[in-house]
Copies of this chain bind each other. A is one copy, B any other.
Amino acid sequence: MIERFPAVMEIPVQWGDQDLFAHVNNTVYFRWIESSRVAYWTQSGLHDLMHPRGLGPILASVKCDYKKQIRYPDTIQVGAKICKLGVSSVTLDHVITSKNNDAVSAIGQSVIVLFNYQKQHPIPIEGDIREAFEKFEASV
């Protein structure tokens, strides 16, 4: 399943990621999801395309559905791919898989708005920026 995600990051579970319940704490999943968003941004070339123009992403919303507990020791993979490319916003789907379980441990979703920091308003996703999204998605 993770093969269909153009941006994937592999991260070892650290002992301290666990909480009192002896499983990875719910907030750690959002750190991993964030890592996959950043991986998407840099590996797709979007960062290099947008940053010099004063454009960048703003996180509007993020969620996570927990499917199976993750425990230490383990290594997870977290992926990001487009669910929906809107006028000014992108919805990314995320999946977190565990090497121990060989199963989907969690699924997530981020909503990102593309923003002009100088003019302080959202920008339309068009031209070479839209192409960069489409090209990166087509790479898998």
Contact = CB atoms under 8 A, between A and B. Distances in A.
Interface size class of A (residues with CB under 8 A): 20 to 34
Interface of A is mostly: mixed
Nearest to A18: B20
A59 B66 contact: yes
A118 B50 CA distance: 28
Contacts of A61: 63-66
A21 B60 CA distance: 14
A18 B31 CA distance: 12
B16 A16 contact: no
A116 interface: no
A85 interface: no
A31 to B, nearest CB: 5
A12 interface: yes
A137 interface: no
Ranked nearest first, the 10 interchain pairs of A and B with the lowest CB-CB distance are A63-B63, A15-B38, A27-B30, A61-B65, A14-B35, A16-B34, A27-B31, A16-B31, A30-B30, A18-B20
Interface of A: 9-12, 14-16, 18-20, 22, 25-27, 30-32, 34-35, 38, 42, 59-66, 72-73
